[in-house]
Structure 1
C-alpha cells in the first residue's frame, strides 16, 4: 500500500502541469468531442510508459541517445505546427467550440438565428486520436519523466515496484478522467467567440514555447 500511494503521488505530480497533452485534453473536453477516446488514449499511453519504465526499458534507451534527439525534433515541429494552427483559429475566430457549448444549454437552435462564430466541421475521431498520440509520444519529456524518472524511483521499491506502478497508473486514470470530463464545468465561461479565441491564443503560446524549448539550445 505504501508503494502504491507513493506511485500515486509521484504520478500525479508529474502529470498535473500545463503542457501540450493536458491542454489538448482540456480543449476536447470543453468541445465534448471524442472525450472518452482522448482520455483512453492518454491513460493507456501513460500505462504503457510506466510499465516500460518499471521494467527497465529506460536503461536501454539511455544507450540510444540519437533516438531521444530524433523524438525531440519531431516533437518540436509538431508542437510548433499545432501552435500555429491554434494561433490561426484565435486570429480568425474559426472554431466550433461555441456551437458545442451552446448545444449543451439549448438543444434546439432557433431557426434563422444569426451565427455567433465562424463554425468549422468537427474533427473526425481518427484525426483527434492521431493528434493525441502525437502530442503524447512525440514529447521527449514523457520519456524523461515517466520512463526514466518514475521507472528509476519505482525500482527503489524492490519487489513492491509493481505496486508503485499500479499507483502511478491510477493517478493517470484519475487525472485524465477529471480533466476530460471536468472541463465541461468551464463551459459557462466559454459561451462566446472571444473566450474561445482567448483559449486558443493561450494554447498557441504554450505549444510554440514548448516546441522551441525542446530544441533551443539544441
Structure 2
C-alpha cells in the first residue's frame, strides 16, 4: 500500500507541476493576495475529483468521444490566448505596488470562475488525470491508496504555491518585478495556447 501511495504522490506530483497555466495563474493570485487560498483549494478539489473519476472509468467514456476533447482544445486556445493578451497588456503598462487598496480587487466569484476556466478548459488536464494517471494507477496494488497519493501531491503543491506566493509578495511588489511576472505569465499562457493550436493533443 505504501508503494502505491508513493507512486501516486511522485508521478502525479510531476504531472501537476508540469501544468503551467494553472500554476502561473495561482501564483499570480497568491502574489496579489487576491482570494489565493480559495483558488488553490478549488484546484485541489478539481484534481482530487478528476483523479477519482479517472480511476473509476470516466477515461473509457472520454476515449469514446474524441470530438469532446477537440472542442475543449479550441476553447482552451481561445481562453489561454485571452489571458496571455491581458498579461502582456499589464506588463506593458506596469503596475503600482501591491498595497492594500491600490489595486482594484476582483470579486471572489470572478476569481473562482477564472480558476475553474484555467483548470477545465485545458485539455491536457483531462489527458493527464483521466487517461494517463488511471493507466498508471491500474497497475498498482491498491488503486485507492494510489489516488490518495495523487491527491496528496495536489494538496501539497497548490498549498505551497499559495503560501509561497503570498510570502514573497512584499519582495515582488515593485512595479518592475510585476512587469517581469506578468510577462512570464503571458509567455506561459501564449506558449500553451500555441502548443494546443498547432501541436494538438
TM-score by length of 2: 0.93
Per the TM alignment, residue 186 of structure 1 is displaced from its structure 2 partner at its CA by 2.4
Q: Which of 159, 172, 178 in structure 2 is aligned with 1:196? A: 178
Q: Residues 53 and 152 of structure 1 are in contact (CA less than 8 Å); yes or no, is this contact kept in structure 2?
A: no
Residue 169 of structure 2 aligns to a residue whose secondary structure is helix
1:156 alignment counterpart: 139
Q: CA deviation at 1:188?
A: 4.0
Kindly state the Cα deviation for residue 38 of structure 1 after the two structures are TM-superposed. 0.5
- Structure 2, unpaired ranges of 5+: none
Count of residues in Structure 1 that have an aligned counterpart in Structure 2:
199
Q: Which residue number in structure 1 is paired with residue 117 of structure 2?
A: 134
Q: How does 1:88-103 map to 2 (within 5 A)?
A: 88-94=89-95, 98-100=97-99
Describe the superposition over 1:145-195 as per-residue Cα deviations: whole angstroms up to 9, x where unpaired. 11100011111125x111100110011001100111111332243131111
Deviation, structure 1 residue 94: 4.0
Q: Which runs of 4+ in 1 moved over 4 A?
A: none
Aligned to 1:24: 25
Q: What residue number does 1:113 align with?
A: none
Q: Give deviations 1:11-53, integer Å, cap 9, x for gaps.
A: 1111113601000111111111102210111000001110011
Residue correspondence of structure 1 range 78-93 to structure 2 within 5 A: 78-93=79-94
| RMSD, aligned α-carbons | 1.6
In structure 1, C-alpha distance between the alignment counterparts of 2:137 and 2:14, rounded to whole Å: 15
Q: Name the counterpart of 2:5.
A: 4
TM-score (normalizing by structure 1): 0.86
Q: Distance in 2 between matches of 1:138 and 1:18?
A: 12
Runs of at least 5 residues in structure 1 that lack an aligned partner in the other structure: 104-108, 110-118
Q: Would the alpha carbon gap of residues 217 and 167 (structure 1) be closer, same or farther in structure 2, given more than 3 Å must change?
A: closer
Q: By how many angstroms is 1:139 displaced?
A: 0.4
